[in-house]
Structure 1
Amino acid sequence: MRERLTDGLYGLGWAGVKRLPEPVAVRLGQRIADVAWKRRGPGVRQLEANLARVVPDASAQRLTELSRAGMRSYLRYWMESFRLPAWDHERIANGMRLLDAHRLTEPLEQGRGAVLALPHLANWDLAGAWATTQLGVNLATVAERLKPASLYDRFVAYRESLGMEVLPHDGGTPFGVLARRLRAGQVVALVADRDLSASGVEVSFFGEPARMPPGPALLALQTGAPLLPASLWFDETPVMKARVHPAIEVPAEGTRREKAAAMTQALADVFAEAIAAHPTDWHMLQRLWPADPPARPGGPAEREPRP
């Protein structure tokens, strides 16, 4: 029953929110965010715990202010995502500004693919839609399987409507397909600040051990495509900003696994700098550091779909 309700609510969002005038959708998102923040559920409490590491000198009052702004940013992501399928190319073009785009376009012009790795910052769906419509790139990504299956199907159909190829996260098939896409000169975009498997690489993240997926680094090593960190953030205008950072260097020595681990740590360092610069746009409402107590099995923080 809970899964059917969740699926129905997301379906209502995609069907209804996109029909609202934009100012109304913005106010609705802020209102929902404020209500969720005031209730201080597991997701909000976990967000504050995560932000305490990002802004270690913040007072208790400052953390609550950051978490409220963070929830508003999170709901901005959802309101925009519900409306994205109805945006035309001009609205998408006006929704984002890409900085240092040459770091992405240059390898593509040479016929090479590129691995874009980014944290859960701002609106990664808008970034993907912008890349496909404004740069004309072929973009492939993966999606976590959600329950119920109908909800997962909604997310896949949604991202495919934005011009992306979406592969399921589970199993070994995605790696081979993504490698083929890279060798064909396409872009693979992966949200890579939280490990969803048992094969994560331990990194130092904001001074504490955490685990991140080695997939982006392994794909770069396998195909020779550059591994490009990317960061996103909202500013005071309706326009989202994005930056492509310099490519992560491939270590000269070490085994494949050792090289991937070193590259994943370098990626984590770039992510940490970007998140510290825009902490309220980091939508990490789930447990990331093993030092935190695990979520109650089946509890809200564990069940929440992560796009």
Structure 2
Amino acid sequence: MKDQLTDALYGLGWSTVKKLPEPVAVRLGQRIADTAWKRRGKSVLRLESNLARVVPDATPARLAELSRAGMRSYLRYWMESFRLPAWSKDRIRGGFAPQDVHHLENGLASGRGVILALPHLGNWDLAGAWVTTKLGVPFTTVAERLKPETLYDRFVAYREGLGMEVLPHTGGSAFGTLARRLRAGGLVCLVADRDLSASGVEVKFFGETARMPAGPAMLARQTGALLLPVTLWYDGTPVMQGRVHPEVEVPETGTRTEQAAAMTQQLADAFASGIAEHPEDWHMLQRLWLADLEPRADGADSGPRPDAGSRPEPHCDDSSGTEKP
């Protein structure tokens, strides 16, 4: 029943929200966000806990302000995503204004293949639609298997409709397919700031230890593709902003594991720079740091657990191709 209700709600969003005038959709998103924020549920409290690490000198009032803005940003993501299938190509082209796109364009022109790695900032789907529409470049990603199957099918159809090739992680074949796309000079995009496998790479993130997936670094190392961090944010206008960061290069020395760890740390540093500048647009409503995953006094499982408020994201964690929600 819960799965059916979830599927129905997503279906209602795509069928109804996309028909609303944009100002109405914006106000609706803000109203839902404010209501959720006022209820102080687990997702809001987790968001504030995460933001407290990003802005360690913030007062309780400042954290509350940031979390409210964060929930509004998160609902803006959903309202935009529900409406993206109805946006014109001109609206998509004008809806995103990234900086330093030459890193991406030069990488694609080189024929080496490019991996774009992003944190949970802004609207990943809008950035992807901009790449396929404005630049005319298709790309490949992976998608988690959702329950019910009809909900998974909705997300695959939605993203394929925006010009993305979506690979299921079932069978562990995603990594190999991504590698083939890159060796052919293609583009791969992955959200890469959260690992749920308990086997990711440990990184220092805002002064504490977290795990992040090694997949982007391993792909770059094995295929020779460029690995480019990307950060996104909103600036109070209808146009989302973004930055393509310089290449994360493969270290000249070290074992494969050491090289992947060093590259993943560089990704974490690039993500942190964007998150620190725009903390309200980091939609991390789940546990991230290892300190939050330590065993509780009652001896409960200390492993990563999905919290409320998660959204289906394209991830690839390591050479096995296993992808994360």
Same structural fold, with TM-score higher than 0.5 when normalized by the shorter chain: yes
Alpha-carbon distance, 1:305 to partner: 3.6
1:149 — aligned with what? 149
2:205 — aligned with what? 205
2:285–2:308: 8 Å Cα contact kept in structure 1? no
Letter of the 1:232 counterpart? L
Three-state SS of the structure 2 residue aligned to 1:253 is coil
Alpha-carbon distance, 1:151 to partner: 1.2
2:285–2:309: 8 Å Cα contact kept in structure 1? no
Alignment of structure 1 residues 60-79 onto 2, 5 Å: 60-79=60-79
Q: Which string of whole-angstrom CA distances, capped at 9 and with x for unpartnered residues, describes residues 265-299 of structure 1?
A: 111011111100000000000110121157999x9
Alpha-carbon distance, 1:184 to partner: 1.2
Cα distance in structure 1, aligned partners of 2:79 and 2:30: 9
1:17 — aligned with what? 17
Cα distance in structure 1, aligned partners of 2:227 and 2:73: 27
2:318 — aligned with what? none
Within the candidate set 275, 291, 307, 1:301 is matched to 307
1:174 — aligned with what? 174
Alpha-carbon distance, 1:91 to partner: 0.4
Name whichever of 140-149 and 258-267 sits farther off.
Answer: 140-149
Cα distance in structure 1, aligned partners of 2:60 and 2:283: 19
1:271 — aligned with what? 271
Name whichever of 100-109 and 67-76 sits farther off.
Answer: 100-109
Cα distance in structure 2, aligned partners of 1:26 and 1:303: 19
TM-score by length of 2: 0.91
Alpha-carbon distance, 1:53 to partner: 0.3
1:34–1:68: 8 Å Cα contact kept in structure 2? yes
Cα distance in structure 1, aligned partners of 2:90 and 2:43: 35
Letter of the 1:156 counterpart? V
Name whichever of 217-226 and 192-201 sits farther off.
Answer: 192-201
Among all aligned residue pairs of Structure 1 and Structure 2, give the percentage whose two residues are the same amino acid.
Answer: 71
2:18–2:84: 8 Å Cα contact kept in structure 1? yes
Cα distance in structure 2, aligned partners of 1:300 and 1:102: 36
Name whichever of 83-92 and 171-180 sits farther off.
Answer: 171-180
Three-state SS of the structure 2 residue aligned to 1:202 is strand
2:230–2:243: 8 Å Cα contact kept in structure 1? yes
Cα distance in structure 1, aligned partners of 2:61 and 2:142: 38
1:116 — aligned with what? 116
Three-state SS of the structure 1 residue aligned to 2:189 is strand
Q: Does 1:7 align with 2:7?
A: yes
Q: Which string of whole-angstrom CA distances, capped at 9 and with x for unpartnered residues, describes residues 76-118 of structure 1?
A: 0000000000111100011001210110001211222100001
Cα distance in structure 2, aligned partners of 1:238 and 1:179: 35
Name whichever of 17-26 and 179-188 sits farther off.
Answer: 179-188
Alignment of structure 1 residues 1-307 onto 2, 5 Å: 1-292=1-292, 301-302=307-308, 304-307=310-313
Three-state SS of the structure 2 residue aligned to 1:292 is helix
Name whichever of 247-256 and 143-152 sits farther off.
Answer: 143-152
Q: Which string of whole-angstrom CA distances, capped at 9 and with x for unpartnered residues, describes residues 211-248 of structure 1?
A: 00000000000110111000100002110011110001
Backbone CA RMSD of aligned residues: 1.7
1:3–1:148: 8 Å Cα contact kept in structure 2? yes
Alpha-carbon distance, 1:304 to partner: 3.9
Task: Sort the Cα spacing of 1:171 and 1:84 in 2 relative to 1 into closer, same or farther, 3 A.
Answer: same
Letter of the 2:276 counterpart? A
Letter of the 1:301 counterpart? D
1:156–1:166: 8 Å Cα contact kept in structure 2? yes
Letter of the 2:185 counterpart? G
The number of residue pairs the alignment matches comes to 306
Cα distance in structure 1, aligned partners of 2:146 and 2:86: 24
Where do 5+ consecutive residues of structure 2 fail to align?
314-325
Cα distance in structure 1, aligned partners of 2:240 and 2:28: 19
1:233–1:281: 8 Å Cα contact kept in structure 2? yes
Cα distance in structure 2, aligned partners of 1:131 and 1:196: 28
Three-state SS of the structure 1 residue aligned to 2:290 is coil
Cα distance in structure 2, aligned partners of 1:155 and 1:237: 27
Where do 5+ consecutive residues of structure 1 fail to align?
none
Task: Sort the Cα spacing of 1:300 and 1:135 in 2 relative to 1 into closer, same or farther, 3 A.
Answer: closer
2:198–2:211: 8 Å Cα contact kept in structure 1? no
Three-state SS of the structure 1 residue aligned to 2:210 is strand
Three-state SS of the structure 2 residue aligned to 1:250 is coil
